[in-house]
């Protein structure tokens, strides 16, 4: 399983209930099926990454293209009304993302972002494997 406590699991289920094709869930299922084990929403790690690989000290974020303003992506175009409100709000999101990135780096975490629009790309498993390394680290016995 995913190393969740009962509370974490029910919080997780509550969040995804009725939306089980959410990009986060698609990626979690994929990563799980590839043989990796991870934690979700681990406290004490900046930015509350979607997937946390404690032993590898790596995290994966699944970012919504709009909320995190995926550069050059058509899903990231800003609303035409209430422009002042939206540009301020989205700029704050980006600032937070940059801050999280710096904090993670300072703490020695490596991170990867998978954008919502990339979730269905064929090469996503390869990219994840390239980032994480082999699924199971077998101890070397002599
Ligand atoms: Zn995008």
SS3 labels along the chain: CCCCCHHHHHHHHHHHCCCCCCHHHHHHHHHHHCCCCCECCCCCCCCCCCEEECCCCEEEEEECCCCCCCCCCHHHCCCCCCHHHHHHHHHHHHHHHHHHHHHHHHCCCEEEEEEHHHCCCCCHHHHHHHHHCCCCCCCCCC
Distance 18 CA to ligand 1 centre (A): 23
Distance 32 CA to ligand 1 centre (A): 23
pLDDT for 6 equals: 66
pTM as predicted = 0.79
Which regions in the chain score pLDDT beneath 70? 1-21, 137-142
């Amino acid at each position: 399983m995913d190393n969740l406590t009962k509370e974490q699991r029910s919080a997780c289920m509550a969040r995804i209930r009725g939306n089980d094709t959410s990009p986060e869930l698609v990626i979690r299922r994929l990563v799980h099926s590839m043989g990796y084990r991870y934690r979700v929403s681990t406290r004490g790690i900046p930015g509350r990454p979607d997937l946390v690989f404690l032993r590898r000290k790596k995290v994966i974020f699944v970012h919504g293209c709009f909320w995190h303003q995926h550069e050059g992506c058509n899903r990231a175009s800003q609303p035409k009304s209430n422009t002042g409100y939206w540009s301020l709000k989205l700029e704050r999101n980006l600032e937070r993302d940059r801050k999280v990135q710096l904090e993670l780096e300072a703490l020695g975490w490596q991170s990867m972002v998978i954008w919502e629009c990339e979730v269905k790309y064929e090469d996503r498993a390869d990219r994840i494997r390239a980032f994480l390394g082999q699924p199971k680290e077998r101890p070397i016995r002599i």
